[in-house]
Chains A and B, each alone.
Chain A
Amino acid sequence: MIDFIGKKRWFFFISWILVIIGIVSLVISQIQLGAPLQLGIDFTGGTSMILQFSSKVEQSQLREEMAKLGYEEARIQDAGENNFIIYTREISSDEARELTEKLGTELDSQVEIIDYYLVSGTVAGQTARNAIIAVIIAAVAMLLYIVWAFRRMPKPFRWGTCAVIALVHNVFIIAGIFSFLGWLAGVAIDALFITGLLAVVGYSINNTVVVFDRIRENVLRRIRTDFAETVNDSLTETLGRCLNTALTTIFVLLALFLFGGATIHYFVIVLLLGVIIGTYDSLCFSGQLLVVWEKRQWRELWPFTKRPA
Chain B
Amino acid sequence: MRKGNVYLLIFILALFGFALWSIVPLDRNIFGREGLRLGLDLKGGTYLVYQADVGDIEPGTEDEIMDGVQGVIGRRIDALGITESIVQVQKREEEYNIVIQLPGITDIEKAKEMVGLFTVLEFREQDAGGNWTAAQGTVNGEALTLTSRYFKDNTYATVDSYGKAYLIFEWNETGAQLSKQITTRLIGKQMAIYLGDEPLKGEDGRIIAPVVQSVIEDKGQIEGLSLVDAQELSRLLNAGRIDVPLGRWADKVFEPSVPLYERTVDATLGQDSIQKSIVAAVIGIVLLVIFMLVYYRLPGLVACLSLGIYGVLLLAIFKLVPITLTLPGVAGFVVSLGMAVDANVLIFERMKEELREGRSLAAAVEAGFNRAWPAIRDSNITTFIACIILIWLGGELGALMVRGFALTLLIGVALSMFTAITVTRTFLRLFIGSRTVTNLTAYGVTPRQIVRNTK
Bound Cα distance A238, B452 (Å):
20
Bound Cα distance A6, B41 (Å):
50
Bound Cα distance A122, B255 (Å):
12
Q: Does B353 contact A (CB under 8 A)?
A: yes
Q: How many residues of A contact B (CB 8 A)?
A: 74
Q: Does A107 contact B (CB under 8 A)?
A: no
Bound Cα distance A203, B72 (Å):
43
Which of A26-34, A63-71, A264-272, A294-302 touches B?
A264-272
A42 touching B280 in the complex, CB below 8 Å, given contacts A202-B386, A249-B335, A263-B273: no
Residues of B within 8 A of A117 (CB): 261-264
Asked whether A122 lies within 8 Å of B260 as measured between CB atoms, the reply is yes
Q: Does B383 contact A (CB under 8 A)?
A: yes
Q: Does A137 contact B (CB under 8 A)?
A: yes
Minimum C-beta distance from B328 to chain A (A): 6
Which of A9-17, A178-186, A252-260 touches B?
A252-260
Which of B53-61, B138-146, B209-217, B394-402 touches A?
B394-402
Asked whether A260 lies within 8 Å of B280 as measured between CB atoms, the reply is yes
Task: Please report which residues of chain A, range 116-138, place their CB below 8 angstroms from some CB of chain B when the two chains form the complex.
Answer: 116-124, 126-127, 130-131, 133-134, 137-138
Which of A53-61, A169-177, A189-197, A223-231 touches B?
A189-197
Residue of A nearest to B97 (CB): A123
Residues of B within 8 A of A241 (CB): 345-346, 349
Asked whether B383 lies within 8 Å of A251 as measured between CB atoms, the reply is no
A120 touching B261 in the complex, CB below 8 Å, given contacts A126-B396, A213-B375: yes
Task: Return the CB mask of B397-418 against A: 1 if under 8 Å, else 0.
Answer: 1110110011001000000000
**Residue picked from A199, A202, A249, most chain B C-beta under 10 Å:** A202
Bound Cα distance A263, B269 (Å):
10
Asked whether B280 lies within 8 Å of A258 as measured between CB atoms, the reply is yes
Give the number of A-B contacts (CB < 8 Å).
Answer: 236
Bound Cα distance A112, B394 (Å):
30
Contact of B405 among A115, A138, A195, A255 (CB under 8 A): A195
**Residue picked from B273, B276, B389, B398, most chain A C-beta under 10 Å:** B398
Contact of B328 among A50, A192, A252 (CB under 8 A): A192
Contact of B41 among A130, A209, A214, A263 (CB under 8 A): A263
Asked whether A195 lies within 8 Å of B390 as measured between CB atoms, the reply is yes
Residues of B within 8 A of A207 (CB): 379
Asked whether B382 lies within 8 Å of A251 as measured between CB atoms, the reply is no
Q: Does B259 contact A (CB under 8 A)?
A: yes
Bound Cα distance A299, B118 (Å):
66
Bound Cα distance A146, B269 (Å):
43
Task: Please report which residues of chain A, range 92-144, place their CB below 8 angstroms from some CB of chain B when the two chains form the complex.
Answer: 92-93, 112-124, 126-127, 130-131, 133-134, 137-138, 141-142
**Residue picked from B260, B284, B353, most chain A C-beta under 10 Å:** B284
Minimum C-beta distance from B5 to chain A (A): 26
Contact of A118 among B262, B284, B285 (CB under 8 A): B262
Contact of A114 among B112, B248, B268 (CB under 8 A): B268
Contact of A252 among B262, B284, B353 (CB under 8 A): B284
A115 touching B338 in the complex, CB below 8 Å, given contacts A145-B381, A240-B349, A252-B287: no
Asked whether B397 lies within 8 Å of A127 as measured between CB atoms, the reply is yes
Q: DSSP majority for the B interface? A: helix
A255 touching B284 in the complex, CB below 8 Å, given contacts A122-B249, A126-B396, A260-B276: yes
Asked whether A198 lies within 8 Å of B390 as measured between CB atoms, the reply is yes
Asked whether A120 lies within 8 Å of B259 as measured between CB atoms, the reply is yes
Residue of B nearest to A116 (CB): B264
Q: Does A237 contact B (CB under 8 A)?
A: yes
Contact of A255 among B287, B328, B381, B396 (CB under 8 A): B287
Q: Does B130 contact A (CB under 8 A)?
A: no
Bound Cα distance A260, B329 (Å):
13
Bound Cα distance A210, B248 (Å):
47
Bound Cα distance A124, B396 (Å):
10
9 closest Cβ contacts across the A-B interface? A202-B386, A249-B338, A255-B284, A252-B284, A114-B266, A259-B280, A206-B379, A251-B287, A114-B269
Chain A residues close to B by CB (< 8 Å): 42, 50, 52, 92-93, 112-124, 126-127, 130-131, 133-134, 137-138, 141-142, 145-146, 149, 190-192, 194-195, 198-199, 201-203, 205-207, 209-210, 213-214, 217, 237-238, 240-241, 244-245, 247-256, 258-261, 263-264, 267-268, 271
Told that A115-B264, A127-B397, A194-B397 touch, could you supply 12 new A-B pairs with CB distance under 8 A? A93-B264, A123-B261, A133-B393, A134-B389, A202-B387, A210-B378, A241-B346, A252-B338, A255-B283, A256-B277, A256-B284, A260-B331
Chain B residues close to A by CB (< 8 Å): 41, 108, 112, 248-251, 258-266, 268-269, 272-273, 276-277, 279-281, 283-285, 287-288, 291-292, 295, 327-328, 330-332, 334-335, 337-339, 341-342, 345-346, 349, 353, 371, 374-375, 378-383, 385-387, 389-390, 393-394, 396-399, 401-402, 405-406, 409
27 A-B pairs with CB atoms under 8 Å apart are A52-B269, A93-B108, A115-B269, A118-B262, A134-B389, A141-B385, A145-B382, A145-B385, A191-B399, A195-B401, A199-B332, A201-B386, A202-B387, A210-B375, A210-B379, A213-B374, A240-B349, A244-B291, A244-B345, A245-B345, A249-B338, A250-B338, A251-B284, A253-B338, A255-B280, A255-B334, A268-B331
